[in-house]
């Protein structure tokens, strides 16, 4: 499996990977093992680890995606999706919550680099670079509209309930966003809202840059999730939240312009998922070669060997599809979007099975919190529901393959 991981990486990427792997092995993983009980602290402020972010900042991994002129870590544009995926996998091998925190910075920074006015880039990128605890949030999901928005539908019934109205020199936002990565701790938000009711999502949705301290923006709650608990998923409320007119990033066609975030984003989600699976496999492979049951080490039992082989095969299949999607995105291939959806969907199901095998191969130890194996199964379970559920992803694949005959799935019943 190691040969496949290395295949296709440049010497610079391998050096970056070695640096990040050392960071994960020497700092992140020991931190997680030592602080396993901290994950269950129900006071959200007690879970985020400044130490982890500061260490990630020291090696430059936190500022990937930020333009070099503002102090960001440079990435070769020709292979940046491959680099982001490689780094996301390695970080999530240590902890998927930390992976979630960091990848939002990368993805949103790339989005802002492409759609934000120059003066906003000059204002915010240096602040992100200077502050190791600076987190970003991308706010799309709402209480009455989540995975279905990923299709998307151009029918009024599917438009966002969050509204933005231009009043003088201010955009005034009202609505609610939930299930938002980093929302509880972020200092800067990209928020989507309807600005042209009845036009359909792709023609009437705008995006806005909203600082945390903007009057009218309230952090309503932290969502207590099953896994990834070192990232505080949150819910925000907007009540007459006014931002300057120039803080509208894209008016009406924001979802079309956000492709630079969504396509690589799905690959990065799959890569984080793969990192969880690789950690589960590595821990399990070590365990079955050292733990004795029935007078012999576990791997010598055929049932154990079969499961280990299945885990390795699933991980390799996910990596193969992910690499194909990466090549498609980096080369601008016409099938890039559907491949990104496929790998996100495929990884979420296969990695969950890998982690289930890991728990079961550890026997009673597998379900002990302090042993740390059950964490991988919990973390893997989140990927079945993020960036669209598995079934919504299947609908999107069918729509891409058969655009003229696939169902609409929304709007008035016929």
pLDDT tens digits for 201-212?
889 999 999 999
Residue 413 has pLDDT above 70, yes or no: no
**Beta bridge partner(s), residue 237:** 176, 218
The rounded percent of the chain whose pLDDT value lies above 70 is 95
Give the side-chain half-sphere CA count within 13 A for 252: 7
- Non-local CB neighbours of 405 within 8 Å, separated by 6+ positions: none
3-state secondary structure of 198: coil
Mean pLDDT (whole number) for 347-355: 98
Tell the residue number behind the tokens 């079955």, with chain if given: 288
Contact status, residue 403 vs residue 396, Cβ threshold 8 Å: no
pLDDT, residue 151, reads 64
3-state secondary structure of 197: coil
Mean pLDDT (whole number) for 202-224: 96
Range of weakest confidence among 12-16, 95-99, 121-125: 12-16
Mean pLDDT (whole number) for 124-142: 96
State the pairing for strand pair 234-244/163-167: unpaired
pLDDT, residue 167, reads 97
d(CA 235, CA 220) in angstroms, rounded, equals: 5
pLDDT, residue 214, reads 98
- Beta strands (DSSP E) in 107-216 are 136-139, 163-167, 170-180, 188-194, 205-211
Contact status, residue 325 vs residue 267, Cβ threshold 8 Å: yes
Q: What is the pLDDT of residues 25-37, one digit of tens each?
A: 999 999 999 999 9
- Non-local CB neighbours of 9 within 8 Å, separated by 6+ positions: 17, 82, 86
Mean pLDDT (whole number) for 357-370: 96
Residue 388 has pLDDT above 60, yes or no: yes
Residue 337 has pLDDT above 80, yes or no: yes
Largest distance between two CA atoms of the chain:
79
CA distances from 216 to 57, 193, 235 (A): 31, 15, 14
Range of weakest confidence among 123-127, 252-256, 342-346, 356-360: 252-256
pLDDT, residue 406, reads 82
pLDDT, residue 60, reads 92
The DSSP letter of residue 334 is T
Write down the pTM of the prediction: 0.94
Residue 131 has pLDDT above 70, yes or no: yes
d(CA 138, CA 131) in angstroms, rounded, equals: 19
Query: What value does the mean pLDDT of the chain take?
Result: 92
pLDDT, residue 4, reads 66
pLDDT, residue 412, reads 63
Q: For 236, phi and psi rounded to 5 degrees?
A: -125, 150
Residue 273 has pLDDT above 70, yes or no: yes
For residue 258, what pLDDT band results from cuts at 50, 70 and 90?
confident
Residue 147 has pLDDT above 80, yes or no: no
Residue 10 has pLDDT above 90, yes or no: no
Chain centroid to CA 119: 27
Residue 54 has pLDDT above 70, yes or no: yes
């Amino acid at each position: 499996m190691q040969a496949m991981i290395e295949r296709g990486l440049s010497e610079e990427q391998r050096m970056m990977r070695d640096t990040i792997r050392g960071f994960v092995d020497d700092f992140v993983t020991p931190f997680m093992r030592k602080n396993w009980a901290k994950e269950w602290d129900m006071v959200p402020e007690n879970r985020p680890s400044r130490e982890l972010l500061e260490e990630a900042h020291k090696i430059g991994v936190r500022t990937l995606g930020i333009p070099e002129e503002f102090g960001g870590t440079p990435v070769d544009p020709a292979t940046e999706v491959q680099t982001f995926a490689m780094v996301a996998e390695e970080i999530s091998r240590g902890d998927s919550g930390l992976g979630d925190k960091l990848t939002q910075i990368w993805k949103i920074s790339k989005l802002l680099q492409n759609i934000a006015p120059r003066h906003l880039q000059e204002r915010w990128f240096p602040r992100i670079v200077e502050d190791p605890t600076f987190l970003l949030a991308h706010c799309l999901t709402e209480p009455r509209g989540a995975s279905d928005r990923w299709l998307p539908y151009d029918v009024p019934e599917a438009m966002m309930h969050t509204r933005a109205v231009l009043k003088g020199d201010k955009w005034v936002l009202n609505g609610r966003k939930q299930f938002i990565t980093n929302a509880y701790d972020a200092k800067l938000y990209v928020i989507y809202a309807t600005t042209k009711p009845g036009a359909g999502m792709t023609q009437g949705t705008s995006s806005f840059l909203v600082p945390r301290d903007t009057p009218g923006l309230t952090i309503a709650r932290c969502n207590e999730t099953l896994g990834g608990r070192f990232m505080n998923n949150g819910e925000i409320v907007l009540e007459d939240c006014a931002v300057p007119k120039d803080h509208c990033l894209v008016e009406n066609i924001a979802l079309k312009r956000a492709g630079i975030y969504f396509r690589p984003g799905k690959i990065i989600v799959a890569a984080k998922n793969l990192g969880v699976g690789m950690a589960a496999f590595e821990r399990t492979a070590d365990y079955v070669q050292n733990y004795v049951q029935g007078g012999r080490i576990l791997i010598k039992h055929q049932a154990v060997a079969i499961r280990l082989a299945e885990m390795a095969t699933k991980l390799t299949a996910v990596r193969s599809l992910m690499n194909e999607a990466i090549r498609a995105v980096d080369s601008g291939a016409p099938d890039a979007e559907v491949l990104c959806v496929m790998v996100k969907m495929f990884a979420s199901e296969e990695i969950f099975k890998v982690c289930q095998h890991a728990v079961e191969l550890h026997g009673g130890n597998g379900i002990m919190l302090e042993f740390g194996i059950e964490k991988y199964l919990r973390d893997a379970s989140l990927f079945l529901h993020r960036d669209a559920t598995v079934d919504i992803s299947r609908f999107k694949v069918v729509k891409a393959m058969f655009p003229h005959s696939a169902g609409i799935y929304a709007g008035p019943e016929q």
